[in-house]
Chain A
Amino acid sequence: MEQLTHMEANLQRVKKGDAKASMHRMEIDRIRFVLSSYLRSRLQKIERFFPHILEREKSRGEGDPSLLSPEEFAFAKEYHANTETYLKAVALKRMPPNLQTVDMLKAVPEPCLDSFVFLRVKERQENILIEPETDDQREYVVDMEEGSQHLMRYRTIAPLVSSGAVQLI
């Protein structure tokens, strides 16, 4: 963000018609696109999985860093409150007394942690345990060399993503 404002300020100073202005402009547009796209994806994920995300925030330990920025957390809470208020006002309050709440955690589908993802290994890993998917398979271990690329279930390598040892592609 700071880079964007810095570049826009630079742009004002460069003479109109100077070739550098176009380059700057393109760069600004690209940076702004990447930034917007990143923030949009995050927001969409928050909206899609809001009960589960808020639940995880609630049960987060003291030392664990939050996955959301304070503004994202505020947005998530507002979205949750807004949706609940809406459902109550338009239908739930007119239903029989024992049916006036909807358990959001059950109603909203949770993210599928077993979906396969591509990843690149940044730090060499040894003895990663792969759980069996079907009853016919058995669990086994793999070693992951630095720089190698793999396709596996997200759940298996989730902690490695948080620590930065692997990078999703």
Chain B
Amino acid sequence: MFCEKAIELIRELQRMSDGQLPAFNEDGLRQILQEMESLYEQNQSDVNEAKSDGRAELIPSIKLRHCCLLRNQRCVAAYLYDRLLRIRALRWEYGSVLPANVRFHMCAEELQWFSQYKKSLASFMRSLGADGLDITQDMKPPKSLYIEVRCLKDHGEFEIDDGTVILLKKNSQHFLPRWKCEQLIRQGVLEHVMS
């Protein structure tokens, strides 16, 4: 049945409804493009036959193939665009350096898109005010000045504004300024302890 591979691609993304990025289905895409090429060629020859030999009964199958081509294009575009949205979310979640396992799931063009997106975002943020403003920080409204955090992994030394250096060892707990911790909490190094 035509367009089955295209639906499969869509289902692949639908299965990961939490926004995770599965590996780029290079194979699936190639198969769909091949199907489109063969449908198109069949249509080309049928159209020529219909025109030259006046074989109007070929027209319904020409229309069917054309619909399949459109459907394939739409599914492929949806698959690629949805992946792009997930990749965009990664910039806001993880920052500008993506973890290796995620990068592994992206094709070369997606990496290129990501790098361009980072640049656009960075130049926009730089243009805010005199020195720029990093709007990927401060994702939650500030509740208090200092927060209690527990260290989830060894992160080494960490300097806070007044110069004191804290050693972030696994399972150690600290009472630190909220704004310094935000990024480390997002990266999974620290954990906000709410008692």
Residues of A within 8 A of B (CB): 1-2, 4-5, 16, 22, 25-26, 29-30, 32-33, 35-37, 39-40, 43, 47, 71-72, 74-75, 78-79, 82-83, 85-87, 89-91, 94-96, 99, 102, 107
Contacts and interface: CB of A to CB of B under 8 A. Distances in A.
Q: DSSP majority for the A interface?
A: helix
Contacts of B110: 86, 90
Nearest to A42: B135
B88 A99 contact: no
A85 B110 CA distance: 11
B97 interface: no
Q: DSSP majority for the B interface?
A: helix
Contacts of A74: 123-124
Given A25-B145, A43-B135, A90-B110, 5 more contacts: A1-B129, A2-B130, A29-B178, A90-B109, A91-B33
A96 B37 contact: yes
25 contacts: A29-B138, A29-B142, A30-B142, A36-B134, A39-B133, A43-B121, A71-B123, A71-B124, A74-B124, A75-B123, A82-B113, A82-B117, A83-B81, A83-B84, A83-B113, A85-B113, A86-B110, A87-B80, A90-B29, A91-B76, A91-B77, A95-B33, A102-B77, A107-B77, A107-B81
B interface, how many residues as a size bin? 35 or more
Contacts of A89: 109, 112
A2 B128 CA distance: 10
B48 interface: no
Contacts of A83: 81, 84, 113
B184 interface: no
B102 interface: no
B124 A75 contact: yes
Contact of A33 (B29, B123, B138): B138
A4 B133 CA distance: 10
A39 B40 CA distance: 46
